[in-house]
């Protein structure tokens, strides 16, 4: 490639006449604020390619650079790189949903740092919730860059970030490539790849480069500027979804007809269905009964009691009470802890007790007590076991406020690291509401302060998913719930500010656009939309429906702040979550799905492509020669794991919205 350094053609001078102290001005290739250089733009293109650019100001601190590259002759294996060089050492950086300041937290083997073997990492834009988004905080300014959604495969591109001693470069790369490796499945790497594209004389390549700049703010909150602008200005596709009543009825039907299980003393719901290889399905056999997390037995018990209250369906009442009684009668331990995996009772298998399941169980049993009473059933033991869980966790709380993440059945703490302990905070606040006892409130606030301080300092939350140990989105839900509850209890604006900070963090996992895929791709054939989905974690690069759980909180946040974006985002998430719910006639991957069933994962990028010779060592994969680029189209983007939690979350969300 022929390096075109500082742009020779001067950009039109744009005076950013901002309503405040900041005035951002383009002088040639440089973005300035007064006499300070914020950054500059450079390009690198193959020999035989010329370019033109046009800068326009879109909003305060938001600019768009339209690049037009023209092949002046036939060009083989063409390549273009468009950089914004932020002229400050990065104090913190992010590729949303991919890397948060290098992913150094946790024991997962996801990509670390920004380079391996001295080679900078590049990622397909399809891995990012805003196309090719890159964000960095320097000494004074926060800068974000991104591009438009490609309309067809030939426009597909990648992004990267290069933090160095005196600067950090944001890069857009065309055509698409993932180098020096591809992160292809959990903790697994394959050889890198890059697409080979030839241009004929006269061919043009157009690239949009957006640049957002604003002053750095404490707690990494400056990222809200580009997130706000992207949400308010990107297209919000509309698509038909089922009515709330249809979602409810299909959900209840799935759990009754497909997941209800009776085994020994157990009465409740299996964790999900898997294909049997003959076009049918079977219930999972290992770790099959869970109180919270993926199994959601206690939440489902509550939803079945609510169904009885709404419809008078006695079968719903009987099943709801049976599941709640079964877990309450068999899983409470003398020390106050609760067995979250019923398999331990049936099979003797030893499982850890985790704060994610424990907090969810306690919170839902407080609710179950009220619903049972409304149904005419007195179950004081529901509240007693919920209080017992809170009492144990409170007794184990550290001086700094931290709860544990996991325990043995004897109550010995296994580990504390991560935000997962925060799942106990909403349960503690509910214990306070139910009892009026200040000890629960005091414990909750101390723990909340510990976990929200981590978010402010680190810019992320961690390890919510029990099958990962990394930066993720799931662990943030408890902070969001707790901050809104505490704000409504106290009126303190600090809690409302925390709710917003958590919500902007969650927005870095939210797909702001509808990905475009080839006609023969599974997404296109099924009509699946990526808009409103959320990526799982930096260790799991695929989309799911977990965000259904915080729809009520974002509706409430919109009401409390008057900011419509949170209601819009809640609506987008809900529409996304109501896709691919079978009516009993849906066939996916050659299998007829039962009524109400819905799968868990959607592979929007190059995750799980089955590339050859995957390794858990990124350095080994980075040393391999690049391979042929994988196809853009994929018949198996939609997995076959018909797990319980998406349906349970939708039922729980509908209950909360009704309340």
pLDDT of residue 22: 60
CATH T-level fold of 2-233: Beta-galactosidase; Chain A, domain 5 (2.70.98)
Q: What angle do CA 187, 457, 561 make, to 5 degrees?
A: 105
Distance CA 251, CA 347 (A): 29
Indicate left, alpha or beta for 34 from its phi (over 0: left) and psi (-120 to 50: alpha). left
454-479 tens-digit pLDDT? 999 999 999 867 788 999 999 999 99
Is residue 209 within 8 A of residue 83, CB to CB? The reply is no
Task: Count how many residues are written for the chain.
Answer: 659
Q: Which helix (H) or strand (E) holds 566?
A: helix 564-577
Domain chopping of the chain, boundaries: 2-233, 244-605+637-658
The three-state secondary structure class of 623 is coil
Is residue 424 within 8 A of residue 362, CB to CB? The reply is yes
394's tokens: 């409170």
The three-state secondary structure class of 267 is strand
Q: pTM score > 0.75 for this model?
A: yes
121-141 tens-digit pLDDT? 999 999 999 999 999 999 999
Distance CA 18, CA 62 (A): 11
pLDDT of residue 610: 63
The three-state secondary structure class of 8 is coil
Distance CA 563, CA 559 (A): 7
Domain 244-605+637-658 has CATH 1.50.10.10: yes
pLDDT of residue 481: 98
pLDDT of residue 115: 98
pLDDT along the chain (659 residues), means of 10: 34 32 85 96 98 96 98 98 98 98 96 98 98 98 98 95 98 98 94 96 98 98 98 95 97 98 98 96 97 98 98 98 98 98 94 95 98 98 98 98 96 94 98 98 98 98 85 96 98 98 98 96 97 97 97 98 98 98 97 98 88 87 94 93 98 95
> Under 8 Å CB-to-CB from 224, ≥6 apart: which residues?
500, 504
């Amino acid at each position: 490639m022929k390096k075109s350094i500082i742009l020779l053609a001067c950009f039109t001078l744009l005076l950013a006449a901002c309503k405040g102290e900041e005035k951002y001005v383009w002088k040639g290739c440089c973005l300035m604020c007064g006499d300070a250089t914020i950054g500059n733009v450079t390009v690198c293109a193959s020999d035989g390619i010329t370019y033109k650019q046009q800068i326009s100001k879109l909003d305060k601190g938001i600019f768009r650079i339209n690049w037009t590259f023209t092949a002046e002759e036939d060009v083989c294996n063409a390549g273009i790189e468009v950089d914004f060089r932020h002229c400050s050492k990065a104090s913190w950086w992010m590729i949303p949903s991919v890397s948060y300041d290098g992913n150094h937290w946790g024991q997962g083997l996801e990509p670390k740092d920004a380079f391996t073997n001295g080679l900078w990492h590049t990622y397909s834009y399809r891995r990012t919730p805003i196309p090719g988004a890159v964000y960095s905080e320097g000494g004074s300014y926060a800068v974000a860059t991104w591009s438009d959604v490609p309309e067809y495969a030939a426009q597909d591109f990648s992004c990267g970030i290069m933090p160095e001693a005196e600067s950090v470069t944001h890069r857009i790369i065309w055509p698409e490539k993932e180098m020096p490796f591809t992160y292809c499945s959990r903790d697994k790497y394959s050889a890198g790849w890059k697409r080979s594209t030839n241009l004929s004389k006269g061919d043009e390549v157009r690239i949009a480069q957006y640049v957002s700049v604003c002053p750095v703010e404490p707690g990494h909150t400056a990222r809200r500027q580009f997130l706000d602008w992207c949400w308010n200005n990107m297209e919000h596709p509309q698509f038909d979804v089922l009515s709330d009543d249809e979602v409810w009825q299909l959900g209840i039907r799935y759990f009754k007809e497909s997941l209800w299980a009776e085994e020994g003393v157990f009465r409740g719901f299996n964790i999900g269905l898997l294909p049997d290889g003959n076009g049918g399905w079977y219930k999972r056999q290992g770790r099959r009964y869970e109180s919270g997390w993926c199994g959601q037995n206690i939440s489902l018990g509550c939803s079945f009691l609510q169904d009885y209250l709404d419809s008078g369906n006695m079968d719903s009442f009987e099943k709801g009470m049976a599941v709640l009684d079964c877990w309450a009668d068999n899983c409470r331990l003398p020390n106050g802890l609760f067995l979250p995996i019923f398999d331990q009772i049936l099979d003797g298998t030893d499982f850890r007790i985790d704060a994610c399941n424990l907090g969810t169980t306690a919170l839902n049993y407080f609710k179950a007590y009220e619903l049972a009473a409304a149904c005419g059933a007195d179950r004081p033991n529901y509240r007693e076991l919920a209080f017992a869980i809170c009492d144990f966790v409170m007794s184990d709380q550290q001086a700094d406020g931290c709860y544990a993440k996991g325990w043995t059945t004897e109550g010995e703490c296994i580990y504390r690291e991560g935000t997962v302990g925060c799942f106990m905070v909403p349960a503690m606040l509910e214990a306070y509401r139910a009892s009026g006892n200040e000890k629960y409130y005091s414990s909750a606030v101390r723990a909340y302060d510990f976990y929200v301080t981590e978010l402010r300092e680190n810019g992320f939350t961690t390890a919510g998913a029990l099958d990962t140990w990394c930066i993720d989105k799931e662990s943030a839900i408890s902070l969001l719930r707790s901050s809104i509850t505490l704000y409504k209890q106290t009126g303190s604006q600090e809690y409302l500010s925390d709710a917003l900070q958590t919500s902007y963090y969650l927005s870095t996992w939210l797909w702001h656009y509808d990905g475009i895929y080839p006609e023969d791709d599974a997404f296109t054939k099924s009509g699946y939309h990526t808009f409103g989905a959320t990526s799982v974690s930096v260790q799991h690069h695929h989309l799911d429906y977990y965000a259904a759980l915080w729809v009520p909180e974002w509706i409430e946040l919109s009401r409390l702040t008057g900011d419509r974006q949170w209601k819009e985002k809640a609506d987008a998430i809900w529409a996304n979550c109501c896709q691919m719910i079978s009516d009993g006639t849906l066939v996916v991957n050659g299998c007829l799905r039962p009524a109400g069933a819905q799968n868990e994962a959607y592979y929007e990028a190059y995750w799980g492509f089955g590339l050859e010779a995957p390794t858990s060592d990124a350095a080994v994969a980075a040393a391999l020669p690049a391979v042929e680029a994988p196809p853009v189209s994929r018949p198996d983007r939609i997995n076959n794991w018909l797990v319980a939690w998406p349906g349970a979350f939708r039922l729980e969300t509908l209950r909360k919205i009704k309340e």
